Structure formats: C-alpha cells, structure tokens
Chain A
Amino acid sequence: MKYETVVGLEVHTELKTKSKIFCGCTTEFGGDQNTHVCPVCLGLPGVMPVLNQKVVEYAIRVGLALNCEILQFNKFDRKNYYYPDLPKNWQTSQYDLPICLNGHIDIEVGGKTRRIRITRIHMEEDAGKLVHSGNTISTSDSSNVDYNRTGVPLLEIVSEPDLRSGEEARAYVEKIRSIIKYLDVSDVRMEEGSLRCDANISVRLMGDEKLGTKTEIKNMNSLTALQKGVEYEAIRQAETLEDGGTIVQETRTWDDSKGMTLSMRKKEAENDYRYFPEPDLVPIVITDEQIEAARQSLPELPDAKMARFQADYGLSEEDSAILTTMRETADYLDEAVKAGADAKTAANWMLGDLSKMVNEANITFADAKVKPAQLAAMIELINKGTISGKIAKKVIVSMWETGKDPQAIVEEQGLVQITDTGAIEEIVKQVIADNPKSVEDFKSGKGKAIGFLVGQVMKLSKGRANPGVVNELLQKHLNA
C-alpha cells in the first residue's frame, strides 16, 4: 500500500444523568414529541441555564478513565450557528478550556498494541431532532422539531489523528464504549444515538510526516459503518490522488445503503461558530477533593480486569479480552468464582453455551436467566459426578428456560449420573452382544471402534452413565 490512512475521531456520548445539563427535565430516551421540555431547554427569552453538577462528576470520571488531565478551571462557551433543532441557535459547549485534556487509551489490533492519544474531552448540550413529514426528506413538505433531546448532556471525546485504519478506528470506539459502559455514565448505544462518531480522514504517502487534506465523515451509525466508512474514504482519497486529483476539504456523509461517502458541504459553506464565553454561566472550578473522590469511585477498568483474569484465573489473553469487553460479562465471571466455581470451567461455559443463549436473547450477562451462583452450582454437580458434562449441557438449557436451580432440574428430570458399576455392566454386556462387528473390529486392532461402543452404552443409558466407568468396563470385557 502506497498510502497511509490517518484518522482522528470525535466521539459523542450522551450521559445518563437523571436530568438535562442545564434544567430539570428528564433525559429519558423517546417520549411523545416535546414532552420532556421546559422554558430553559426550549431557550425561551429570559430564562437562564443552571449547570447539573452530575455532568461535571461524570466528565471527571470519564477523563480519569481515559488517562486525561482534569482542568481545574474550565468554562462553557457558546458555539453559534443557525439550525432549527437548536432552540437558541447556539450550542453551549466548551472551547478553549475544556474539562479534560491530553489523555490516551491502548487498543489491540492484529496482535499489536497501539496507544491512541486523546486531545480533549468537553461537556456540551445535545440538540433536538427534526421530524419530517412524509416518508423521505425529498418528498417531505414540512418538518417539525422535537426538543426532547435538547439539553441532554453530551461528552465529546476528541482523538489525535493517531488511527491508521478502519479496523483501528473500530477498535478505538469499541474500547471507549467499553470503558464508558464500565463507568456506568452512558448507555453508549449507537443505534439509539447515545454514542455517535464523526471521523476526520486524510491519506498521505507512506513515510510522509505532513498530514494530507482531511475530510470529515458523518452519519456512521454502527461500528461496521464506521469501519467501512473509513476504509471507503481512504481508498477514495488515495484513488483521487493517484488520478492526479486533489482532496477538497469538506464534510461528507456515509450512505450505508450505497456503501459510500457523499459530499455534504464544502469548507466554504462551513459555519464560523463565533465562540465566546457563555456569560450566563460561571467558570467551573474543580477541587482536588472532587478529583480524588472521582478517582475512588472508578471501577476496575477493562485493561486491569483483563490482566487480573490472566494472572488470577489463568485465562488466556484472548478469552480474558472477550470476557472483559463488557462489564456485565466480567462481573458475571467474578460472581461465579465468588460462588465457588472454578474460573476456567466457568469461563468455558460462559464463552460457549451461555454466550449463545445470551446473544440469542439479545441481552447482556447481567440479565442472563442462569445466575452466576446457579452456574457455580451446576459446575459443582459435574465435579461431584452427579451429572456428566454432556448432561450438564441439557441442564443449563432447562435452567435458562425455567430459572430453576440445577439440583432441582437434575432431580425432576432424573438426570443423575449412573455410577453404579453393576447397572452399567449390564448395559455394557448387552452392547457387546448386540454389536459383534464392532467387537470384531476392536479385537483386530481398530482401537477407534471403542468410541462407537461407548456411544451405544451412553445412548442406552440416556446419557446418564458415567463415561469413565463405561470406558473402564468396556475395556475390561473386550479384553477379557
């Protein structure tokens, strides 16, 4: 590849405070149009904003988790532009003194760890939504504005242009999303818009220091769209340059159905935001105590958890990574271990059968129908020999369906493993009698044939026979 892709991301995340950033309205998603509003978030004449301190608290937590420096004197500014979803025609945001500066996170891509620098994080208010009449915007003859989302607190996390591919961009957003989810300050749902992402993309010849002309790509509403969008745009720019063209600085939109980026507006049409300090709010002064309290409140973050899972639980790096991406998953494992389960066994059940059920139900491990203590109890039944691993696969499905404890299911369904040698020996004798060909094969040195015979015994015992005992008895009778 002759060209190198250079990407910087702006990630917007809606904070899940109870009330909006400058008024008491609820931040709840949805609701009938214009029902979560008041004079303040509607920007009526004469009203004034009052900062929700929870937003500052959350911003500090995110800043610390992303290894940022917290600016103990920061302030709000007005970003002025006209758009009907913005009732005051300015957005209260932070310009030259944002709450967080100079952070970083590490991402893993293709077995390599890369450090991505974070330029800044600032607090701002979300805008409303335009609701167009008709089915499409081109056939729509009027639009309404829904201000429910207006004033929902947002954090904008701006990265340095340190990302080098669509895959890295995706990994970066996944990591940010995972950390914020751990902090429990946002739902980070891309499909509901509580996590949004714009990309600044340029390309340059490999080895060049100087950045190329960038374009900004908007409307990538999923991780897949982000990755594809970055990849498409980098190729488009490289091809343009190869054909002797130049890159025009502009804002482009990702069209998911066409799988391409399309020009939205040129640089000349960009707004001059005329930022200036918000005179209706006083500067924010953050004390050392506030920062310390936020630091204390931080949960164990994915990187630390992953290291611990490897060191304490003896899990592989890959498994640890999967199990720590979501806090709910990691918490589940910790709880199962606390309830007495062997970590590796529990992890295997989680990565296998449980993941499948969780994904099918489209929920997280927090809402898994099998609770961590129930998983631990089931593993205990296997260890004690009460049920076989194979039976356990049936048991866990019943547990999921009924919510019942494994002991109850095993008893109700008569799934207790048969370890009584006498009972198993009867079946073994019968299988040997019924399958002379396989017995012949075995005796003539085809060791594999024993597998079939074991299978027959298990089948006749409805899976309940202890496989170890079956094996032992078969060997004994066949070699007799």
Chain B
Amino acid sequence: MTIHELHQKLVAKELSAVELTNAVIAHKAKTEPTVHAYLADSHEQALAVAAKVDEKIAAGEAISPLAGIPGAVKDNICIKDQQATCASRMLENFVPPYNASVVEKLTGEDYVSLGKLNMDEFAMGSSSESSAFAKTTNPWNAEYVPGGSSGGAAASVAAGSAVWALGSDTGGSVRQPASYCGVVGLKPTYGNVSRYGLIAYASSLDQIGPVTRDVTDAAIVLNAISGHDHRDSTSIPGERPDYTKALVNDVKGLKIGMPKEYFGEGLNSEVREALEKAAKVYEGLGAEIVEVSLPTSKYALSAYYIIALAEASSNLARYDGVSYGLRVPADNLVEMSTKTRSQGFGAEVQRRILLGTYVLSSGYYDAYYLKALKARRLIKNEFDAAFEKVDVLLTPTAPNTAFKFGEKINDPLSMYLEDICTTPVNLAGIPGISIPAGFASNGMPIGMQLLAPAMGEEVLFRTAYTFEQACPECNKIASIGEVTL
C-alpha cells in the first residue's frame, strides 16, 4: 500500500478516495488498540477531503500525486484549530490558530489528514516512551519500542494506519524510528523544508521529513513539502527539483563511502552483517565502495546534545503558564511558573532543559557551548571533505535494532547512544535517508542510512531506490500492516 500505487488506483477509478479513506480508518481501528500511534483523530475532515478528491476525479480533473491518500503528521506540527500537544501535559489544551507551512502545502495537494501522531515529549527521546499520553508499540512486535521521537509516524506507516506520515528529525528522530519499524524515513537538507509551524525543539537542527512505505513515496512527499518559505528565514531560496525524476535504478560508477568510525565498537553484529551485505549488493550493481574516515564524528554526539539542549532550554522557556498552555495557579508569578513547569514537563524534558541551561551559563559557556559549536564546524568540514571523494555515505541508522520497553528509559546515556549515527547529519545540515536493509534474528528490522551533501537529495533517492529494487525481501511489511482495501 504505497502512495504511488494507490494514486494509480484512484486515477483508474478502481478505488475511490472515500473508499480508501474508510478502509484505512477501519484498519486503524484494528491496529490502534495495540500500536497507539495516534494522539488525535480527524476522520470527518479526512472523509470530506476524500469526497472532494472523488468529485475532482469524477469531473475528469487532474489530481496531485498525494491527493486523497490518507496520511498523518506528528503532533508537533501545527494544524489550524486542531490540538498540537507535542505529547506534553504542558500543551494538552493548546490549539494553534495557524497552519504549519507544510500543512498549507499539503492542503493544496488535497491532504487527507487522519490525525496527529504520538511522539516523545517535545521530540526529546529515542523510543517515544517519554510521551505523556500514549505508549506507541512497534508494529513488528508490541514488546519493542517503535523508536523516537517520531515513533507514532513510523509505527503508523508500518502498521498501515497511515499510508504516509510526517515526522521531525533533530538528531535522528525520523530516521531511527523508520529504521526500527522497517519503513523509509528521510531527513531533508536543513532549510529544504520550511520549519514554520513546527514546534521547535532545537531550531538549528530541526527538520520535517517524510516517513513512507518506500523510496518513491518519500520522493513524492518531499515534492509536496519542500520549497522556499519566506516565513522561515533559514529556508533555502530557489526552486526545488522534481525528486521523483531522481528515482533511477542505477548506481553504476557511483562512489559510496563507508566511514569506518560508524562500523566500530558498539555496533550490533547483525546490523553490521546486513550493511556489509548491502555494500556487496551495491558493488554488484556497479558502484564503487570506498572506505573513508570521519574521525571527528566521535565528538558529534556530545556536540549534538550540548547544542540541541542549549537551544531547547531557550525554546521551551515560553511555556510558563502566562498566556497559553498549562497553568498551575499559585500566589505569585515565580511560584506559578515553577509549578507549571514542574508539573507540565516530564522527566526527560526537565533533564534536557536543566542541561541546556547549564551549558549556556556563564563560566561554563566556553567549555561546553562554544566548544560544541567548534566541533560542529569541524564535523561539517569533514563531511564536505568526504563528499569531495565520494557521492554518498553508507552507515547504520542506529547501532542496534529496536529495544524493549523499559530497557533504556532509566539509562539516558544508553538511550542517547542510539542517536550516535544520526546526530552528525543534523549538525552538518546534510540530508540523510534510512531504508530497510534486512532483519535481525529476532525479526526486528534493520535500517541503513545513506547520506549526501547539502541539497543532494536526488543522489540519495537514486542510491536508495536502486537498493530497494535489488532487495525486495528487505521491504517486507509487518503482518499487522497489511490493509484490506
């Protein structure tokens, strides 16, 4: 059940958009009691848009590739007049009076929106366990986490309760859950997709990205959401290419680099084997595999956590109970804000705000924040140098496959280590995609991450698409995810 297949069916009138939407809603009703991918539903609106799409088809009008195909967005992306909770008690009743720019673009594509997806609170986490409202499970095995922070996005697509979804990726939050759930997750180049209306975690790293069943769908969704936006000053100017044109089944002559630091200690052996096998596949298809070195990468995780948390401590300062969101009444202002923030934020969010405040404090600023900025610059330079030699980099998306609930939630450091392969990419602002690359012996999916230079999404799509064509067994769907149309 992919966007491009369903689009053909709609256009060929084999299926109406209303039938499709009803089928996905019915399927969702079956999966949600176990998967819990959603925090809110908008079925009525979804069916209304679907009906409009059917009218267009009946009238012989052309429809966009996404029209009438049910999807959903992470609950940190604002849809006008619908709650945007960020999976936090703090914003439980917050209803934005505006659309995110991506939502406006999707509305123009006749977006059938099924609802809002669960996540780690304020996108802080790698398992979605920090959500204040729901425990999203991995569609491959409910004992396992879906990854995070866009756990709801990855789980909904893997479970078939959405055909596609939008997540946000600050340090791997689209790619890592996509990897854990056996679906495709793309973090576009920083500035390729507008952040306006994405509730900020770490502004210099955040980027909205698609979660889809296959690479073609990722290109279709990126076509719909990318582009310059005057409301986001960090948005890259200029036109965007038609990314579906980059879906070429050919890697002949392509140089694919494997940074040795990403294949060192701490990497799960089954993940390593799967990726080495993938490299062989590429070699067999005529690509050149080159070993490269990115020695500064080892500082990326530290630099990431310092920069992200510093920005987060400031971005989340606005939640003080004064003008919107949760307010815990008290006798005076300081007490009101303190109580509101203590009760409104969960443990992980509080931990990150404290750490971020600390690294920016006078006396510590130079040792932490400034040093992290320097490391970030070096990491970026190192990627630039690597891309002088190779077209694409191939790494694991995460060092492990999905872990079980409770395994890491009380050990923040081991949780943070799950981001070790993805955080350098956000620091450098380059695009990265995670695609399914096989399965571990416990049946859980393994993800492969491909990286390209800034605005190099096209070569990413080409490389990813070629592997997908070569390894159909990697694209197996979780049994819960088979939708009856």
Q: Are B314 and A78 in contact (CB under 8 A)?
A: yes
CA distance A84 to B332 in the complex (A): 12
A44: B residues at CB distance < 8 A: 96-98, 324
CA distance A281 to B235 in the complex (A): 10
Q: Are A45 and B91 in contact (CB under 8 A)?
A: yes
Q: Do A281 and B98 form a contact, CB below 8 Å, given A82-B320, A274-B314?
A: no
Q: Which of the segments B226-234, B418-426, B468-476 contacts the partner chain?
A: B226-234
Q: Do A282 and B323 form a contact, CB below 8 Å, given A46-B196, A47-B197?
A: no
- Closest residue to B100 on the A side, CB-wise? A46
Q: Are A50 and B197 in contact (CB under 8 A)?
A: no
Q: Are B198 and A276 in contact (CB under 8 A)?
A: no
Q: Do A279 and B361 form a contact, CB below 8 Å, given A87-B323, A89-B320, A145-B323?
A: no
CA distance A80 to B322 in the complex (A): 16
Q: How far is the CB of B104 from chain A (nearest CB, A)?
A: 13
Q: Are A274 and B78 in contact (CB under 8 A)?
A: no
B30: A residues at CB distance < 8 A: none
Q: Are B318 and A276 in contact (CB under 8 A)?
A: no
A134 at the interface (CB under 8 A from B): no
Q: Do A280 and B318 form a contact, CB below 8 Å, given A44-B96, A46-B200, A274-B357?
A: no
A272 at the interface (CB under 8 A from B): yes
Q: Do A272 and B96 form a contact, CB below 8 Å, given A46-B199, A88-B318, A280-B203?
A: no
Q: Do A279 and B318 form a contact, CB below 8 Å, given A44-B324, A47-B196, A50-B233?
A: no
A51 at the interface (CB under 8 A from B): yes
Which listed residue (A84, A272, A274, A276) contacts B322, Cβ 8 A?
A: A84
A190 at the interface (CB under 8 A from B): no
Q: How far is the CB of A395 from chain B (nearest CB, A)?
A: 59
B357: A residues at CB distance < 8 A: 274
B98: A residues at CB distance < 8 A: 39, 44, 46-47
Which residues of B from 200 to 254 have beta carbons under 8 Å from A? 200, 202-204, 230-234
A313 at the interface (CB under 8 A from B): no
B58 at the interface (CB under 8 A from A): no
CA distance A59 to B325 in the complex (A): 36
Q: What per-residue 1/0 map shows which CB atoms of B169-207 lie under 8 Å from chain A?
A: 000000000000000000000000001111110111000
B362: A residues at CB distance < 8 A: 272, 274
CA distance A45 to B92 in the complex (A): 13
Which residues of B from 98 to 121 have beta carbons under 8 Å from A? 98, 100
B387 at the interface (CB under 8 A from A): no
B153 at the interface (CB under 8 A from A): no
CA distance A87 to B325 in the complex (A): 13
CA distance A31 to B227 in the complex (A): 37
Q: What per-residue 1/0 map shows which CB atoms of A32-70 lie under 8 Å from chain B?
A: 000000010011111111110000000000000000000
B360 at the interface (CB under 8 A from A): yes
Q: What per-residue 1/0 map shows which CB atoms of B315-334 lie under 8 Å from chain A?
A: 00110101110000000010
Q: Are B317 and A80 in contact (CB under 8 A)?
A: yes
Q: How far is the CB of B88 from chain A (nearest CB, A)?
A: 10
Which residues of A from 76 to 91 have beta carbons under 8 Å from B? 78, 80, 82, 84, 87-90
Q: How far is the CB of A407 from chain B (nearest CB, A)?
A: 58
Which listed residue (B84, B198, B317, B361) contacts A272, Cβ 8 A?
A: B361
Which residues of B from 346 to 363 have beta carbons under 8 Å from A? 357, 360-362
Q: How far is the CB of A130 from chain B (nearest CB, A)?
A: 10
- Closest residue to B369 on the A side, CB-wise? A276
A88: B residues at CB distance < 8 A: 317-318
What are 5 of the A-B contact pairs (CB < 8 Å)? A45-B94, A48-B233, A50-B230, A82-B320, A89-B314
Which 8 pairs across A and B sit closest by C-beta, in order of nearness?
A89-B317, A279-B203, A274-B360, A279-B204, A45-B199, A46-B199, A46-B197, A88-B318
16 more CB-based (< 8 A) A-B contacts, given A46-B77, A280-B234: A39-B96, A42-B323, A44-B98, A44-B324, A46-B84, A46-B96, A46-B197, A47-B98, A51-B233, A82-B337, A87-B318, A272-B361, A274-B357, A276-B310, A279-B234, A281-B233
